[in-house]
Structure 1
Amino acid sequence: MLRRVLPFLLGAVLLAGAEDPFEPPPELAAYTRQRTLGQQGNAGKVAVLLRSFFAPKEEGGLGIEYDNAYTRTPRETWRDRKANCLSLTALYVAACRSIGLEARYGESLRISRWRRVGSTVRYERHVVAVVAGGTIGQELVADFLPEVRKGAQLIAYLEPRRVEALFYSNRAVELLAESKPEEALQAAHRSIEVDPGLGVGWNILGVVQRTQGTDAEAEASFRKALEADPRDGAPCGNLESLMRAQGRDAEAQTFREQGLEIRKRDPFFNAFLAEEALGDEHWAEADKRIRQAIRLLPQEPEFYLVQARIHLAQGQTKDAIKALEKARKWSLPDMQSRFDSKLALLKNLKPA
């Protein structure tokens, strides 16, 4: 079993008062028209615009760098040239709309990420842009994750108010990490005001409330989060933690079992647990968890990379090579080179 306890589980990771946080920078429309000039079809415009976000300035691009530490508004992204997937998507949707392209927000249902930040475990969902392709039924997906996954797209549309609510819930998490609890509480409440049906928003509100010592309010928020989204295991983990701290062990165990039942079908959570077990040198648990992740999502290259690390930690060089070869197989062509040097190094090692 793992030694580490998962304490506060946060949902997806915009504060700007009552104004629209997604208001585009005034320079965006002119820039977008200039970059897409001469492109006749929607697909060509979408591709050129997508490349221009990351192309260096000397090539006429924006030179944006991926940065998941802070959720920026489109204006902040334009200013800083840094953004996470939500910020990039908001800027991209605004750019497409400025030249008459029909663009919507979507959530990639097969991509999520669990990561530990200090004593906190964050669950981050993935937002993309979906643009009409110009022919009936054709849709083009703009995905801003740095590690694009082959065959991973299964998109659910997101209403603008839900994306705005996710923005504010992100900012609440970030403000809490910056030791600004009052501002974090304001952002969390704003998320709920924008979209009262967002389970993530209620969960994060509960986390902020608990850090301020208002446990009764936090419990109510966690329960509302679970009611809004019964498939989200994060509120279960938070309710378990809160109730154990209060000596309500029987209730805590109920939520623990409920949370594990929900999350056992999440391949990314299993991969996260595998990495946690790897860090604790619990090889059998790490192997079990990564195998479960691969069974649930067999075309995810990052899972095979974790599996290779587990094998290497145990001196199983041949098995590590096999895992890396699978990671390379399921990566996009322009991402496969990242595995070549690792494979060459391992193949030159003598078996333990």
Structure 2
Amino acid sequence: MNHNSSLHSFGLWLCLALMLVLTGCQNAPRQTISNTTNSELFVDDQFGAATAAIETPEQIFAVPAEVVSELRQQVMLYGDPFDRSRALLRFIFNDGTDMLEYVNSATLIASDTLQKRQANCLSLTILAYSLADALGFDSRFQDVDVPEYWITRSGSSLLNGHVNLVVNPDSKFAGVGHIVYRRHSYLIDFDRVPSRTQLRTTEVGRNAIISMFYNNKAADAIVSKNYDLAYQYLKAAIRTAPELSGNWNNLAVLYRHKQLLAEAELVYLHSLALEPDHSNTMANLAMLYQLTGRYQQAADLEDKVAKKRLANPFYFVMLGNEAYERRDADVALRHFRQSLRLQPNTPEALFGMARVYLLKGDLTTASRYLQSAKKYVGPGPERRRYQSKLDLLNAIAKQV
């Protein structure tokens, strides 16, 4: 599931400047052991009070009593665990006109997900856990080890991660819908791509999910330049799960935005102490070294990161998007083509090709790549977005 800037690696985002790390289909940092919050790395005097209330853990998972009552009526009337699980699935996703829709930026508490009918993988995991817990079902959170993958939001590149939920019934089942059944459990996830179900997963605790929620909210605040709110969310994230290196990386990204370079460096180094091979933290630290004139140290880190990313098609999508933003069409095409060589039919690379050919004024080729991107993206808002661009492109072509 989802597990979700101008930040090179926020745990969510970056954009030549820095990246943030997100979860919920936003980045879920790996866990390592740490027994301290290192409160000396906080700089409270550089930030003001939060402009909005920080959600409590209870608020994150709470569902209205009337919803729980309706849930019990629809699910618990079945005696067979298989039928109960199907009923829970129908309740979450809704087979009617008000279906739950995947929206990458929708990091919401459970009650808001129910009301707005939107969620990313993190929000879906939170909602599914809350409902399963209300029914007395045993469940566990999973962090999915997906390849580095970036999205662009408001000119910033955000690094996505992925989380989902395993619910444990009493019997063995077969697969159906959004659920993949295993011997004594089933998986609730937006992502139904078969290859993804084979990726390595790590069980994480409730505190990690809460921390990821705060982390994503901080990333949203950074993109909106609401740095005081971002700082309070990141402090909440770190205090909840200080062992998650991505939270510290994002705090350093925030410091970088505030031009607190010395403080940012200390926090990057702490993040790397927790997770020495975290590529985005290394990339962000390399950028800081560049800014402060330590070019050899920057180059050493950049080489290490590049070697890890050369086989990742989404890395070249990110580079292509950055070149496109500079209006360097030839460089952008080279990166998108390399992405497609590594993984044919990648929708993000195909869409990038379409944008570049549109920049070049080649409407026919742009339309062809847009058609391909639409073909290979899953159903939902992304496919509709591609279709709207195709409609606009066709309208323009008729006027030429």
Report the RMSD for the aligned CA atoms in angstroms.
4.0
Shift of 1:9: 0.5
Looking at structure 1, the residues matched to 286 and 379 of structure 2 have their Cα atoms a distance apart, in angstroms, of 43
CA distance in 2 between partners of 1:250 and 1:260 (Å)? 15
Report the alpha carbon displacement of residue 92 of structure 1 after superposing the two structures with TM: 0.9
Deviation readout 1:49-88 (Å, 9 max, x if unpaired): 33433437xx5x8654444445222133234443322112
Residue aligning to 1:23:
61
Structure 2 residue ranges without an equivalent (≥5): 1-13, 25-52, 173-181
* 2:230 matches 1:209: no
Is this contact kept in 2: 1:150–1:299, CA < 8 A?
Answer: no
Distance 1:327 1:110, change over 3 A: farther
Q: Which residue of 252, 256, 260 maps to 2:298? A: 252
The 3-state SS of whatever aligns with 1:110 is: strand
Partner of 1:9: 19
TM-score (norm 2): 0.68
Task: Provide the residue aligned with 1:123 in structure 2.
Answer: 159
Q: Distance in 2 between matches of 1:296 and 1:50?
A: 35
Deviation at 1:45, TM superposition (A): 3.6
In the alignment, residue 207 of structure 1 is paired with which amino acid? V
Partner of 1:240: 286
Q: For each residue in 1:84-142, what CA deviation from the matched residue of structure 2 results, as whole angstroms up to 9, or x when unmatched?
A: 22112101111123223332222333365412334532112122222336327354322
Report what 1:264 is aligned to: 310
1:240 alignment partner AA: A
Pair 1:137–1:304, CA change in 2 (3 A): farther
**Take 1:94 and 1:18, find their aligned partners in 2: how far apart are those partners?**
15
Q: What amino acid sits opposite 1:25 in the alignment?
A: V
Report the equivalent of 1:36.
Answer: 75
> Residues 298, 255 of structure 1: CA spacing in aligned structure 2 closer, same or farther, 3 A cutoff?
same
CA distances 1:203-237 after superposition (whole Å, capped 9, x unpaired): 01111222333322211111222232334322123
Matching of residue 152 in structure 1 with residue 219 in structure 2: no
Distance across 1 between alignment mates of 2:295 and 2:204: 39
Q: Which one scores higher on RCO, CA 8 angstroms, separation ≥ 6?
A: 2
Q: Which runs of 5+ in 1 are unaligned?
A: none
Tell me which amino acid in the other structure corresponds to 1:36: V
Question: Is 2:140–2:167's contact at 8 Å kept on the other side of the alignment?
Answer: yes
Q: Equivalent residue for 1:95?
A: 131
Cα distance in 2 for residues equivalent to 1:334 and 1:247: 46
Query: Where does residue 226 of structure 1 map in the other structure?
Result: 272
CA contact (8 A) 1:106 1:155 kept: no
Corresponding position of 2:113: 77
Across the two proteins, how many residue pairs are aligned to each other? 338
Query: 8 Å contact 1:111–1:152 — kept in the other structure?
Result: no
Query: Contact 1:169–1:191 (CA<8 Å) still a contact in 2?
Result: yes
Of 246, 253, 257, the residue aligned with 1:200 is 246
Taking every aligned residue pair, what percent have the same amino acid on both sides? Answer: 24
CA distance in 2, matches of 1:292, 1:40: 53
Equivalent position to 2:146, from 110, 115, 119? 110
